[in-house]
Amino acid sequence: MNKSGFTLIEVLVSLAILAILLTTFLPLLGWLISRTRATEYDAQASLVLQEAMEVSYNVMAGSWDRSWSVYPAGIYHPSLDVSMSPEKWILVSGNETGVEARFDRKIEILPVCRNQGNGDILPGVCNMHAGTVDDNSKMVVGTVEWKENGRPKSISAQLLVTYLGQ
């Protein structure tokens, strides 16, 4: 006698195996989706930071006046000056919020303190015993901050801009 089809026990065993597989892989799928979103945020933040650093370099190198009076030490953000023709990037005082609808960014311009003996860069503020301020160099620190799943995240980069003379 030739029987075709599934018995009730075979169907129940198949459903049990399917339930076990689903309970194993659904949490993994949720984790993969959240990890993909986090990677997307990290990549976007990197691009926002890269733009800030490139603008900073080009603005500072293009407006070098040897005294850095145009951009003294402080916090800035990039902005496109549309009042000029052609349009030109400038640095505007203060933080920038809502970049790409989720990021905050700032560019901090800092003086460079150098060791008087060997010219190495010294961390922190210069004092008369630790070093001297290098008027031909500035440290540019770009920072991008955002919230991911309610937790603060940030990335930053540093750029040393130096005037080598004419």
| pLDDT number for residue 67 | 52
Q: Is the peptide bond before 86 cis (omega within 30 degrees of 0)?
A: yes
* Mean model confidence pLDDT for the chain: 85
Distance CA 30, CA 163 (A): 51
pLDDT higher than 90, residue 142: yes
Assess contact for 78 and 89: CB atoms under 8 A: yes
Q: In Å, how far are 43, 85, 107, 124, 140 from 71, measured between CA atoms?
A: 29, 22, 11, 19, 11
Residue 166 has pLDDT above 60, yes or no: no
Binned at pLDDT 50, 70 and 90, residue 76 comes out as: very high
Q: What is the pLDDT of residue 17?
A: 92
Give the per-residue pLDDT at 37. 83
- pTM score: 0.74
- Residue 83 gets which letter from DSSP? T
